Amino acid sequence: MLLSVVMPVYNEEKFLAEILRQVQAVDLGDMERELVLVDDCSTDGSWRIAQGLEGADSVNDSLKPFDRPIRVFRHAVNQGKGAALRTGFAKAAGELIIIQDADLEYDPEDYLKLLAPVLKGKAEVVYGSRFTGERRNMFFHHWVGNRFLTLMTNLLFNTTLSDMETCYKLFKREALEGIVIKSDRFNFEPEITAKILKKGIRIYEVPISYTGREFEEGKKITWRDGLVALWCLVKFRFSD
C-alpha cells in the first residue's frame, strides 16, 4: 500500500528542510510512501530548497530519490492552499492520501495514529484533532474561531467533529472519488469536509499533538479566512 503525503508550500524556507526530514524519518513499517510537494509560487527560497533536496532538473514533474520518493510541482502564479492541494491530489499515486503543512505545527510521527483506523477497516477518512491531544495552546481568538466553525459543521451536517479545520486529514482514495474541489485558499477545509459528509462518510477522529506558531514565524490564516469558511459551510450544505 502506498501513502501519498501531499504538502502545499508557500514561503516556508525557514521550516521546509526540517519538515521534509521529519516526513522522511517516520517509520511506517512495510507501507510505502511518496511525498508530493506543490510549491505555490513561493517568493523566498522554498522552491530552491525543494529542488535541491529532491535533485530535480525539471520545474514541472520529476521523480528522484531522497531516501524516499519526492515529486515536486510548481504553480506559475500564487493561487492558495486549496489550489495547491487540488494539484497535489491530482498527482498523488497512493491508495491513501494525507495532507501535511510545510511548517512544524504538526508532527509526522502522528501518521501512525491516523493510519490505524483505516488499516483496521474502521474508517475511510480520518482527521487528527488538535483539541483532544497534547498541544501548545493556540491564541484565544483562533481557538474560538476553530470551535465555532466546528460547531457550525456539526449543526449543518449532523456530526460530532471536534476539529474541522485541522490540517491532518487522511483519505482513502475511494472517499475522494467524485469530489471536485473548487476552493483555492483556506476554504478548502470546510469544502472537503462538507463534501465528504454529504457523501454519507462518517469522519473518524484521533488525537494528535500540535505546536501552533506565531504570526512572526509565518502563520498565514486570519479571521477573514474564518468568515469565508463559515460562508462555505452554508453554501456547500445547501448546494450540489
Distances (CA, A) of 70 to 81, 189, 238: 19, 24, 39
pLDDT at 238: 84
Confidence band, pLDDT 50/70/90 cuts, at residue 54: low
Between these two residues, 146 and 209, which has the higher pLDDT value? 209
pLDDT at 239: 79
Measured CA to CA, the distance from residue 113 to residue 166 in angstroms comes to: 15
Let me know how long the chain is: 240
Q: Is the pLDDT of residue 108 over 50?
A: yes
CA neighbor of 39 nearest in space, from 94, 92, 85? 85
**Residues ≥6 apart with Cβ < 8 Å to 148:** 226, 230
β-bridge mates for residue 128, sequence order: 206
The mean pLDDT of 183-210, rounded to a whole number, is 94
Q: Which residue has the cell 468568515?
A: 227
> Would strands 96-99 and 32-39 be described as parallel, antiparallel, or unpaired?
unpaired
**Residues ≥6 apart with Cβ < 8 Å to 112:** 26, 28
Q: Quote the strand ranges of 111-175, DSSP E.
A: 125-129, 135-136, 169-172
Q: Is the pLDDT of residue 5 over 50?
A: yes
Confidence band, pLDDT 50/70/90 cuts, at residue 234: confident
pLDDT digits (tens, 9 = 90+) for 117-144: 999 999 999 999 998 876 666 556 666 7
Domains parsed from the chain with CATH numbers? 1-104 (3.90.550.10), 131-165+174-240 (no CATH)
Measured CA to CA, the distance from residue 21 to residue 78 in angstroms comes to: 25
Other beta carbons less than 10 A from residue 132's beta carbon: 13
pLDDT at 58: 38
